[in-house]
Amino acid sequence: LRLLDTRMIALQRQGRIGFYGAAQGQEAVPIATGLALQAQDWVFPALREQAVMLVRGFPLRTFVAQLFGNSGDLLKGRQMPSHQSGRAVHQVSWSSCVAPQLPQAVGAAWAMRARQSAAVAVAFCGDGATSQPDFHTAMSFAALWGAPCVIVCQNNHWSISVPQDRQTASRTIAVKARAYGMPGIRVDGNDVLAVYAVL
């Protein structure tokens, strides 16, 4: 993934692709999550979770084709680069806006439960998303209705360009789950085995 990131960042800097969401330094969480998921589970990514698709069997060639929007792209260039999705691996495209995938994932999870499916939805976000209204809506709905959804927050201590201590007064991000009556688990996001163990 690091080699892919390095090459895609170089192509983006050269103007050969329009956008690339690098995941350097944040590879462990999506890899562990991809390994922990069952085939029927759905993924609602944020910016840096490309590896989940690859771990779940999405073809690398098709993945890269999406960055170029060429004929190998499943969406034929009708989606912004680095916004991969694939029905075959149950992953929706992420939105460039911060946090709308969270209530979408909870709604999908609620529908899964209503259909008596064993599937779960996994939604990703960054620490800055926990200050967005969509985060609070998703948490409230998930807790109240018991939606089978896991919200994974990758805390890199920066909300775009604002440090964590300037965007939240919470001691940790995980503690925010308690306000909604949900378990919140804090884990070292650079440790693949630790992340896999809590999933």
The DSSP code sequence of 125-148 is EEGGGGGSHHHHHHHHHHHHHT--
Q: For the whole model, what pTM was predicted?
A: 0.94
Token duo for residue 93: 């495209």
Tell me which residue of 99, 88, 114 sits closest to 46, measured CA to CA: 99
Q: CA-to-CA distance for 44 and 92, rounded, in angstroms?
A: 6
pLDDT in tens, the chain (199 residues): 788 889 999 999 999 999 998 888 899 999 999 999 999 999 999 998 989 999 999 999 999 999 999 999 999 999 999 999 999 999 999 988 999 999 999 999 999 999 999 999 999 999 999 999 999 999 999 999 999 999 999 999 888 888 999 989 999 999 999 999 999 999 999 999 999 999 9
Residue whose tokens read 């919140």? 184
The alpha carbon of 192 is separated from its chain's Cα centroid by a whole number of angstroms, namely 16
